[in-house]
Chain A
Amino acid sequence: MNLRDPESMNLVIGKVLRYGVILSGAIILLGTIGLATSSGLSDTAGVLAYNDQVPHDNIDVSLAGMIHGLVAFSAFSWVELGVIVLIATPVSRVVISVFLFAAERDRLYTLITAVVLVLLLFSMLVTPFIPGFHA
């Protein structure tokens, strides 16, 4: 595949999205089978109850908690991992676009996609910790 060929950009980005979706779908499917078999007979009322405590005590969102859950084959943690892969898919698409435009020697679009990537990472990783953001 010649990365200088503008046509190949569509193929590469298409593949990045497809692999991301297939990987996350497979992990979530694995977790869903676990969820449905382990808690299949319990009522949704107890599990879906929402409380205003952040984060909610019934969902462990810490990295350590998730890794522990993955090792212990907790269905919850596997679904969480699949969701993280899904969220990472469009992010990887932006990262790869920067390199593809650079390979094409398209300076304008290398700059545009690089700025988009910075804005995206700022929004994902920094704004959750700025007080007053996301009321």
Chain B
Amino acid sequence: MLIVEFVLLMFFISILAGMFGSIVGLGGGIVVIPVLTILMGVDIHFAIGASIVAIIGTSSGAASTYVRDRVTNLRVGMFLELASASGAITGAAVAAYTNSAALEAVFGGILLVSLVPMVMKIGVEVPESPELSGLSKRLGLTGSYNESDGRVVNYNATRPVEGLAGTAVAGVLSGLLGIGGGAFKVLSMDLAMKLPMKVSTTTSNFMIGVTAAASAGIYFARGDVDPIIVAPVALGILIGAALGARLLLRSRNTTVRKVFAVVLAVAAIEMILSALGVSV
């Protein structure tokens, strides 16, 4: 394949990756890694390097819109970043002593199981908001955003400690495997903290850029960020993220949940296949 062909093809695929990634809050890496390794035959090291850049691009590109329009909850994001950042450092510290295939199998399994509560809430547009109390009140974990039809959605977060614990798991996974963090962040906010689905995915989207930036230095220094791969990926991702952000703002929470459930299933299967030695 000629360089021009490779660049154009990766550019268009990355637009799609950016759109999906910005809507479900997982970043574009979930699409970029398998496309590069399976379709393009690129080495997994380069694919992970490109994925880190794709995640930062999706995160910053879409968050500029989500933050301005107040769908992302900044306080929830900053509070949970305490857990994702310390989890990522812990994961990187113990990575040498762990069996990554076994970990991928276990966490892929957990993601599959978490599809059950996710699907049980499939028709819920906005969850019933609990009274703001205790630690959530102390931390100001409350908010409201405007739907595109003018409705104002008010919500309060609950169970911040459980949310923090789930996000710590997300951070450890990012540090250990470089993947899977976004899914656990969305699940923590949705299942533990009971935030509206769009708040959960856009706040995860806001956070994953910081988690990815935390480990970007090491990949960059190793030379895993290959400009020829990363250039079309970054450009496509940025365009896709801008488009995806517009789509999300106009979508219903139930639609976002359905798309997330499908992507979650795919991510879980990707992790399990990878654990079984199928390179994805």
Contacts and interface: CB of A to CB of B under 8 A. Distances in A.
Interface in B208-227: 209-210, 212-218, 220-227
B139 interface: yes
A102 interface: no
B223 A25 contact: no
Interface stretch (B61-69, B115-123, B248-256, B269-277): B61-69
Interface string B195-218: 000000000000001101111111
Chain A interface residue bracket vs B: 35 or more
B173 interface: no
A25 B3 contact: no
Contacts of A84: 220
Interface stretch (B82-90, B124-132, B151-159, B260-268): B82-90
B279 to A, nearest CB: 13
Contacts of B228: 35, 39, 44, 47-48
Nearest to A37: B4
Nearest to B53: A83
B177 to A, nearest CB: 11
Interface centre among A20, A45, A56, A116 (most CB of B within 10 A): A116
Contacts of A93: 60, 209-210
A49 to B, nearest CB: 8
B231 interface: yes
A50 B45 contact: yes
B43 A17 contact: no
Nearest to B216: A87
A87 B74 contact: no
A25 to B, nearest CB: 5
Given A61-B223, A134-B92, A42 B2 contact: yes
B223 A56 contact: yes
A18 B68 CA distance: 10
B95 interface: yes
B78 A113 contact: yes
Contacts of A113: 78
Interface of B: 1-4, 6-7, 42-43, 45-46, 53, 56-57, 59-61, 63-65, 67-68, 70, 74-75, 78-79, 81-82, 85-86, 88-89, 92-93, 95-96, 98, 138-140, 209-210, 212-218, 220-232, 234-235, 238
Given A90-B210, A127-B218, 10 more contacts: A10-B74, A15-B64, A32-B7, A50-B45, A61-B221, A80-B227, A86-B57, A123-B89, A123-B214, A133-B92
9 contacts: A14-B65, A28-B235, A43-B1, A50-B46, A109-B78, A115-B82, A119-B214, A128-B218, A135-B98
Interface of A: 9-11, 13-15, 17-18, 20-21, 24-25, 28-29, 31-32, 35-36, 39-45, 47-48, 50, 54-56, 58-59, 61, 75-76, 79-80, 82-84, 86-91, 93-94, 97, 108-109, 112-113, 115-116, 119-120, 122-125, 127-128, 130, 132-135
